[in-house]
Amino acid sequence: MSDVSSSDANRSSTVNLVRSSHPWTKADSAAGFVLRYLPAMRRQLALTLGSVSEADEALNLLLTHLVSAGFGDRRRGRLRDFLVRGLRSAAKARINEMPDDQRAKTRLDELSLESKDWLRFWREGLLERSWRSLERLEHTKPTTPLFSILHSATTNPQSTPDMLVVQIASERGVQTDAALVRSLLPEARAVFAQLVADEVAETLEDPSGDEVKEEIRRLGLGRAFNGINVEAEG
């Protein structure tokens, strides 16, 4: 492998917080865009309504509304806030149809903008989307196994490069060597951080660097940016 120049190394470890130019408010299809976040929404509704089947019924109500009405005049602010209002409305409609004993077990009052559960589900959903994007990138460039290296290093933080080589081969069937792991790990971290930043930016109305930074902080995603040079300008 050829040596990486200092300028290349700096570029590979820099994240632009406002690189993404596809905020949710400009999506052509409200329902289509929202489907990206279905796992987080489903988890929240299952917790609120007490069952996955009820969650799916409520989701159908919300998605049907989005297909017919789109985002309407509420196309502003944070997508997670828009969605939690929609989830609450759909959950309330389902609760009104439940018998009294089942209704008593629901948790509608805990479904709010700053619900710790909702923030957790949302954070984990954004991270999962970022991991899947990194994995797809590896499929297009199999000689640069960024996903395999970073995923193994993240799940085995005490492992040395030599240990990671064995773990990557065992878990992913990808052949590497210690030098490649050492070389690509900083790039993998930076690429993943950029993907996280892009995911966050797309959930904001008109993201600025400060807004993306604040959302990263609020969601507890800061660890993804440790040791990364962050640019906050478009």
User: Residue 2: is its pLDDT beyond 70?
Assistant: no
Task: State residue 214's pLDDT score.
Answer: 96
The string of pLDDT tens digits covering residues 156-200 is: 999 999 999 999 999 999 999 999 999 999 999 999 999 999 999
Cβ proximity of 111 and 118 under 8 Å: yes
Domain with 180, as residue range(s), is 10-23+118-231
Distance CA 204, CA 200 (A): 7
Domain ends where: 100, 115, 130? 115
Average pLDDT of the chain, as a whole number: 91
Residue 150 lies in a domain: yes
201 and 129 within one domain: yes
Joined tokens for residue 225: 């940016």
The answer to whether residue 72 is domain-embedded is: yes
- 179 and 135, same domain (yes or no): yes
Nearest CA-CA partner of 133 in 36, 232, 17: 36
**Domain annotation covers residue 3:** no
Give the number of domains in the chain: 2
- The pLDDT tens digits for 4-25 are 333 333 445 789 999 888 999 9
Same structural domain for residues 37 and 89?
yes
Residues 6+ apart with CB under 8 A from 181: 149, 153, 161, 164, 165, 168
Tell me the pLDDT tens digit for each residue of 140-154.
Answer: 999 999 999 999 999
**128 and 224 share one domain:** yes
| Domain membership flag for residue 38 | yes
Write down which residue in 59, 91, 115 finishes a domain. 115
